[in-house]
Structure 1
Amino acid sequence: MFYKVIAWRIMFVTFLGRECPDLPCDVVFSEAEWKSVWKVVENEDPPKQAPTLSRFIPVLATLGGYNDRQGDGPPGAEVIWRGTRRMLDFAMCWRAFGPDQ
């Protein structure tokens, strides 16, 4: 049952990014989650305001193996799942050792 809840969230994030791309990512992700992923993947300080889902989902999916090439379609559930697993570790470290500590 636990995995069904996780699978639902992954599918929700995947399709919400496609259907509501202008929604800020902090609607779905905590501040520690999106900021830590941004810092790791983009190698720069996170923006002051949360990026849109259309901007953040490919960044998250990059952690799961998404290449984000010009001809690639939107990231799917599998790369978002892999990226989310890594994101949770980064967020835990961000909360413990991040810039606000």
Structure 2
Amino acid sequence: MVVAWRIARLMRLDRTCPNLDAALLFEKDEWQAAYILNRKKVPKSPPKLNEVIRLIAVLGGFLGRKGDGEPSVKTIWLGLQRVVDLAAGLKFT
């Protein structure tokens, strides 16, 4: 139930406040893991929420084409599973 609440909250905030700082909703290891898994350079400062959500959704199968709209709960959920796993690994290195 808590996981579903977090994912729904992330999706809603991404759509209403996309320019929020990602550090407000993600731990440092989580947003860095999203960049690492997408093979993108990890920024030194926390990125915007919309950017991190898009990276997570791509890991869940979101294509991000012009007519695709916003990422759904399912794509965020699938991508977040991968991000959380890598973030756990980053904590122990």
Q: In structure 2, what residue type is equivalent to 1:80?
A: I
The number of residue pairs the alignment matches comes to 93
RMSD across aligned positions (CA): 1.0
1:8-30 per-position Cα deviation (integer Å, ceiling 9, x unaligned) = 11100000111110001111000
Matched, 1:56 2:52: yes
- Matched-pair contact (CA < 8 Å) for 2:37–2:83: no
2:82 to 72, 76, 86: 86
Superposed, 1:26-65 pairs within 5 Å as 26-41=23-38, 43-65=39-61
Does structure 1 conserve the Cα–Cα contact (< 8 Å) formed by 2:21 and 2:47? yes
Question: How far off its partner does 1:73 sit?
Answer: 0.4
Query: Do structure 1's residue 10 and structure 2's residue 7 form an aligned pair?
Result: yes
- TM superposition score normalised by structure 2: 0.93
**Structure 1 stretches of at least 4 aligned residues deviating more than 2 Å after TM superposition:** none
The counterpart of 1:70, out of the listed 57, 66, 73, is 66
Q: Unaligned regions of 5+ residues in structure 2, if any?
A: none
Consecutive unaligned residues of structure 1, counting only runs of 5 or more, are none
TM-score (norm 1): 0.86
The structure with the largest alpha-carbon Rg is: 1
Structure 1 position 44, deviation (Å): 3.2
**Paired letter, 2:36:** K
Identity between Structure 1 and Structure 2 (%): 35
